Structure 1
């Protein structure tokens, strides 16, 4: 706004100066208004999609009690990245449980239980058929992913606006220099000659 006002009544202003000032003002307004709006819209849509995914996962998966048979070969203690705000150590074990139709099932599963000794009872996630399933995403984690998506979209929008502004400014500067070169080519050959242009 200051640039637009400065060039408003300045006798040295050129048309390109006013255009550059208006371009800077338009880019600033878009950075302040459009980029946050794009970020909010992207974050809101991502959050809605993730919340729907959370509901679907919770409907399809449920906790089942299983009995540890033994530790899995090469079992690893890993931290679950899908749990927001906590660090849960998970261990691979071979466990036995019953499916919803009563059939016995034995497989390698991952548990967050601290007691993974043979014979220990642990809680595992299974799908509707009783097969091992991944733990469903929790709501805080979904919100965190949505916030990150919105922030990323806002930053990309701001970067795009700035790139477009710089490209337009570069083009305007190139045209201004081309006009100066043409004017100089028209006047240059007579520069410094006494009486040039006089009759």
Structure 2
């Protein structure tokens, strides 16, 4: 019937109910159309800015942290070479035998055994050292000793310095990348809530015209 007000209908879905993380650089945020909102354009600019900025800041952080870590480990290795001493120790008892002598696993296995050695101050000391399996009592092994006489690890090698430096550099880059991702997620969530609130406000103004009886 002409001029009849249509019956009440359920509210239409919001114009954009996609998850705020979906397609941050999709054409929806850039193309000109009557449904595009200012928040869509803003979200697109935020995504583009982060896409360009995060790799740059990540590289800066990677080189800065990597350089600082490298200098730290180089200085640490130099100090270790000055304070750690290589000496010979003697086993005080037989080392356990490996179940598979001569195997690849046996070559990598080490057993803790009590050894006797002379520290840098000339004192005879005993301590636990990791040695190859099957060594007999009175066998000689090389051990690293600190200035106070405690057994320790050998000074860091160049390979260890490079490995640890790369680890810190990679961690710095990933931290920046995660921070950028979190920043985009937070902005997208804020804009999404703003869009939903705006849609609810508009629907509150429109709903009476859909629910008014003829």
Cα deviation for residue 24 of structure 1 reads 0.9
Among 183, 190, 193, the residue aligned to 1:174: 193
Aligned ranges for residues 45-56 of structure 1 at < 5 Å? 45-56=68-79
- Kindly tell me the number of residue pairs found equivalent between the two proteins: 182
Q: How does 1:182-193 map to 2 (within 5 A)?
A: 182-191=201-210
| Shift in alpha-carbon separation, 1:88–1:191, aligned structure 2, 3 A | same
Unaligned runs of 5+ in 2: 1-23, 99-106
CA distance in 2, matches of 1:117, 1:68: 7
In 1: Cα distance, 2:159 partner to 2:80 partner: 15
Question: How many Å apart are 1:48 and its aligned residue?
Answer: 2.0
Match of 1:81 in 2: none
Q: Cα RMSD (Å) of the superposition? A: 3.2
Runs (4 or more) in structure 1 with deviation over 6 Å come to: none
| 1:8-23 aligned within 5 A | 10-12=32-34, 13-23=36-46
Please name the residue that 1:139 is paired with.
158
Partner of residue 35 from structure 1, selected from 54, 58, 61 = 58
| Relative contact order, higher structure (CA 8 A, sep 6+) | 2
Equivalence for 1:44: 67
Structure 1 regions of 5+ residues with no counterpart? 78-86, 195-199
- Asked if the contact 2:97–2:133 (Cα under 8 Å) also holds between the matched residues in 1, the reply is no
After superposition, give the CA deviation of every residue in 1:4-59 in whole Å (9 maximum; x if it has no partner).
89726x14232112101101101211332222322332232222222221111111
TM-score, with structure 1 as normaliser: 0.74
What is the DSSP-based 3-state SS (H/G/I as helix, E as strand, rest coil) of the residue aligned with 2:185? Answer: helix
**Compared CA separation, residues 52 and 112, structure 1 to 2 (3 A):** farther
Following the alignment from structure 2 to structure 1, what is the Cα–Cα distance between the partners of residues 72 and 137? Answer: 40
